[in-house]
Chain A
Amino acid sequence: MAEVVARMAGLLARVLEDPALAQEVTADTNLLLDLGIDSLHMITFLLAVEEEFDVEIDFESLDSIHLESVKAFCHFALDGDGR
């Protein structure tokens, strides 16, 4: 999980153009309340996740609850909940 979180953190740092996030984002970081990702950055991030991890995200099922932590998002996007 730690390696996956680190890759997610790297993607978030790139999308939000804030290199510090690569170190600051943890498994518990809330993507909405802690990072405040707006709609433009969100779709950029989600498409980047699809490419980075070679997965298909189910956008219709994606809900705020899946963004309450990086861990929850990984579970949704990578472990089958979101495919």
Chain B
Amino acid sequence: MAGEVSGTVHFGSFDAEAAWRPDDLAGLPAGPAAGGSRGRRGMDELLAVGCAPGDLLLTAEPMDETLVEALAAAGIAPRVAAVPGHQDATVEERLAAGGGTALPGMSGWAAAFYAVRPDTAVAVHRLALRATVPAVEVVARVNSKVWSNDLVRDAGLPGGAVLATTPAQVRRLVQDAPDDVVLKDPYGVAGRGALRVANPRVLDTVVRHLERQVARGARVELLVQPLFEEASSFSTHLEVDPGGAVRWRGLQHVDNAEFAYRGSGPLPADQHANLDTTAHREVIARVGTALAAEGYTGPVCVDGLRLRDGTVVPVLEVNARRSMGLLNLHLGRRARAVGLRSWLRCRTTPVRPGDTVARLVSALDEAKLLFRGDDRGVLPLASGTLTPPRGRLFLAVFAPDDAARVALEAQVGDLLVATAGAPSLVT
């Protein structure tokens, strides 16, 4: 490879939990939903924010060229290529099936993937990339909330849940709880697979649904957790190196609405000081060491909570993969270089057929709100998530402080409400 240009190839679909979830697990009540697989597939464009200039980003669907240009103007300048394949296939499945053969040569480049899915190792091999890929069985195990809950209970940390393995146990644990509880699927993510049980009717519905699945041979694994009185959410980011060393990467504030993810950003200074302590770093190191002992290597996001009574739940869930908070840490490095801070924001928004992210970029540019890499502004981050009639709009907001961030978001909202045909930021 001497004398040849090399870099990193970034790829990965964001619905890894679905691939890890055993088929025989009983699920919580749910129904068909809009924007599912296609909208989630479009999230792979978000990986651009972690790319260095000259890196290659492989996506499942073609990325809007206007968005690629806007990102490049802001200093996020990977080459981008869509991987051909079946319309329902993930980017990993497309690569594993040989969909990358016509792509530019990248033999010997490093691989940076969102998560280890069943086809990730084959995809890395087919492209002849350099990467340590832990076994998918290991990755699936450590990403189960049962695994992280065992770790929490073994370590005597606050916030542990109780595992229920029968419908009758679910009923008893919920009925015995003094307050409302949350039932969590071991592989639930961002609102899918978590259900607040606020009254006996909901409990009856859950138990009835579980009993029907058990009658057909399904297993029950549900975590029963108190509904915490949350003051704020945060995430701690670490990296488990191939040798087992654990590296601290940073803390992020997490903005949630009920169970839905709304954004990541810097923690307020006082909260950062209260969390970035020797004790918290020791807890996080313990998580990393446990992951390494299982055979995991790679990025990790540990979700945590600060409760209204001041209690810190340092480990609510462990996500052994890349994460939205990690993406905002990447954005934060770019922001600091020009004296700003970054927020990654996500909104569900009405999208009409024909609306495109290109129109949004153009409107932002005309209003001088588009981030160009050197002054405050906002930057759309994905085009494929804007699926009609309601899509998800991911924005990076670059501002000197939270007040300026709020003002910028308000300006963007006003602009889009006033711009006929463009998607609205109004949730």
Which of A's residues lie within 8 Å of B, judged by CB?
A: 17, 32-43, 45-47, 50-51, 56-57, 59-60, 62-64, 67
Q: Could you list 21 examples of A-B contacts with CB < 8 Å?
A: A17-B427, A32-B34, A33-B389, A36-B350, A36-B389, A36-B391, A38-B35, A39-B33, A39-B191, A39-B192, A40-B260, A41-B33, A45-B31, A46-B29, A50-B201, A50-B205, A57-B29, A60-B209, A60-B213, A62-B31, A62-B32
B5 on the interface (CB 8 Å rule)?
A: no
Q: A37-B34, A60-B213 are in contact. List 18 more A-B contacts (CB 8 A).
A: A17-B427, A32-B34, A34-B389, A35-B34, A35-B389, A35-B390, A37-B390, A38-B33, A38-B390, A39-B191, A40-B260, A42-B31, A43-B29, A47-B201, A47-B202, A50-B201, A62-B31, A67-B31
For residue B71, give the distance in angstroms from its CB to the closest CB of chain A: 26
Q: For residue A46, which residues in chain B have a CB less than 8 angstroms away from its CB?
A: 29, 31
Name A39's closest neighbour in chain B (CB-CB). Answer: B33
**A47–B29 CB distance below 8 A:** yes
Query: How many angstroms from the CA of A37 to the CA of B127 in the assembled complex?
Result: 38
Query: How many angstroms from the CA of A51 to the CA of B390 in the assembled complex?
Result: 26
**B35–A36 CB distance below 8 A:** yes
Q: For residue A41, which residues in chain B have a CB less than 8 angstroms away from its CB?
A: 33
Q: For residue A57, which residues in chain B have a CB less than 8 angstroms away from its CB?
A: 29, 205
Query: How many angstroms from the CA of A47 to the CA of B30 in the assembled complex?
Result: 10
Q: How many A-B residue pairs have CB under 8 A?
A: 74
For residue B190, give the distance in angstroms from its CB to the closest CB of chain A: 9
CB-CB under 8 A for A36 and B29, given A43-B195, A60-B212 = no
Name A41's closest neighbour in chain B (CB-CB). Answer: B33
What class of interface size applies to chain B in its complex with A? 20 to 34
B208 on the interface (CB 8 Å rule)?
A: yes
**A59–B30 CB distance below 8 A:** yes
**Contact check: which of A33, A38, A67 meets B348 at CB < 8 Å?**
A38
B388 on the interface (CB 8 Å rule)?
A: yes
Query: How many angstroms from the CA of A5 to the CA of B328 in the assembled complex?
Result: 44
Query: How many angstroms from the CA of A42 to the CA of B390 in the assembled complex?
Result: 13
Query: How many angstroms from the CA of A52 to the CA of B209 in the assembled complex?
Result: 19
B258 on the interface (CB 8 Å rule)?
A: yes
**A36–B388 CB distance below 8 A:** yes
Query: How many angstroms from the CA of A67 to the CA of B202 in the assembled complex?
Result: 21
Q: For residue A63, which residues in chain B have a CB less than 8 angstroms away from its CB?
A: 32
Query: How many angstroms from the CA of A60 to the CA of B212 in the assembled complex?
Result: 9
Contact residues of B between 29 and 50, Cβ < 8 Å to A: 29-36
**A43–B348 CB distance below 8 A:** no
CB-CB under 8 A for A43 and B389, given A60-B209, A60-B213 = no
**B205–A47 CB distance below 8 A:** yes
User: 6 smallest A-B Cβ distances: which pairs?
Assistant: A36-B390, A39-B33, A36-B389, A36-B34, A32-B34, A42-B31
For residue B251, give the distance in angstroms from its CB to the closest CB of chain A: 26
**B31–A59 CB distance below 8 A:** yes
